Amino acid sequence: MLQRFPTEPLTVLRAVLLFGMVVYFTAVKGDFLSTGNLYALGQSFALLGLVTLGLALTMIAAEFDLGVGAMVAVAGLIMVKIGEHNVPAGLLCALAFGALVGLGNAVLTLMLGVSSLVTTLGVLILLRGMAVWIEGGEGASFTHYDLTDFIDSNWLAVLSPRSVVTLACFVAVAWVLRGTRLGRDVVAAGSRRKAAVMSGARVRPALIAVFVVSGSFAALAGALLSISLGRASAQFGDSLLMQAMAAAILGGVALSGGVGRPLGIATGVLVLTVLNNGLSLVGAGTPATLLLNGAVLLAAVLIEGGVGAWLHERLATPTQASPST
């Protein structure tokens, strides 16, 4: 009989890490798995998950969108400023702005041959300045409290409309990547771009799509966050870029492109949200939180690199069982 280890041992290791943290924090804080705290985890997942999913799509295509955190701030301000007078118009304008910026990133990257790192770094700076300008030195309030209550209402004890929207986006992206030509073109663009072009893959439309989706997801996250909090600020999203990049890498998205699955990305987001939530519950300070976040990210990078190759070779190699008599 031939016995095999799991074909994706690194996925198993990420799941073990997540399970271990849940067990530890539950042992230290008995209310970690309470419905109230699970709801809080879902709210954190709703924000970081959307931003990470969009960023991860660009990374799978071997590109980057460094402006996702700043987009959260600008889209939130657009939502509040316009949505205070007309809610549907505010949401549509926020989403349209995110998609337009994403399209601009794609045009600059593809048409002018500029690196997406350089392009989106410049867009990041522009968006930060735009957020401060829109805010105008004053806080922006959203007084549609009925909508605020609805967006954070409790569904099935641990979910909310915000978290359901994020989960729906993960399911949609999983279907696109696995079941459509566009999804296959995105992966091909990140794996071997020249070979993909020569084989007939529609690389340019795929890259345009991932940038537009990244901007739209970040804008949606910012709009929903502002509705939830009842306000918007130019400071929103300051740390989201690094958290999203860490979550994507933790979720198995390769920095070189071509590798990444929504389920793994969701696992990476959960690892960070569970870690930060648990550390907050046990009273850990900011230095300890940053230190442990960095340690987890470093471990993920090592797993993706040489350590990961070594583990995959050891765990995925079939072992010949002794012949049965």
Residue-wise pLDDT for 34-47, tens only, equals 999 999 999 999 99
Structure tokens of 248? Answer: 């994507």
Query: For the chain, how many structural domains are there in total?
Result: 1
5 vs 146, higher pLDDT: 146
Domain membership of residue 51 (yes or no) is: yes
What average pLDDT does this structure show over 290-312? 67
1 vs 198, higher pLDDT: 198
pLDDT band, very low/low/confident/very high, at 159 (cuts 50, 70, 90): very high
What average pLDDT does this structure show over 65-76? 96
Kindly list the distances between the CA atom of residue 284 and the CA atoms of 288, 291, 297, in Å, as whole numbers in the listed order.
6, 11, 18
Measured from the Cβ of residue 309, the count of other Cβ atoms closer than 10 Å reads 12
Domain membership of residue 325 (yes or no) is: no
Q: What confidence tens digit (pLDDT) does each residue in 264-285 have?
A: 999 999 999 999 999 988 888 7
Kindly list the distances between the CA atom of residue 187 and the CA atoms of 56, 63, 111, 191, 213, in Å, as whole numbers in the listed order.
12, 11, 20, 6, 15
Report the C-alpha dihedral over residues 79, 81, 82, 83, rounded to 10 degrees.
Answer: 60
Domain membership of residue 159 (yes or no) is: yes
**Domain with 228 in it: what CATH number?**
1.10.3470
Domain membership of residue 119 (yes or no) is: yes
- Tracing tokens 């509040």 back to the chain, one arrives at 80
Q: Residue 323: what pLDDT?
A: 47
Range of the domain at 149: 2-319
Q: Which residues pair with 159 in a beta bridge?
A: 155
259 vs 75, higher pLDDT: 75
Q: What confidence tens digit (pLDDT) does each residue in 88-119 have?
A: 999 999 999 999 999 999 999 988 888 899 99
Domain membership of residue 324 (yes or no) is: no
What average pLDDT does this structure show over 226-239? 91
On average, the pLDDT of the chain sits at 87
Q: Residue 325: what pLDDT?
A: 40
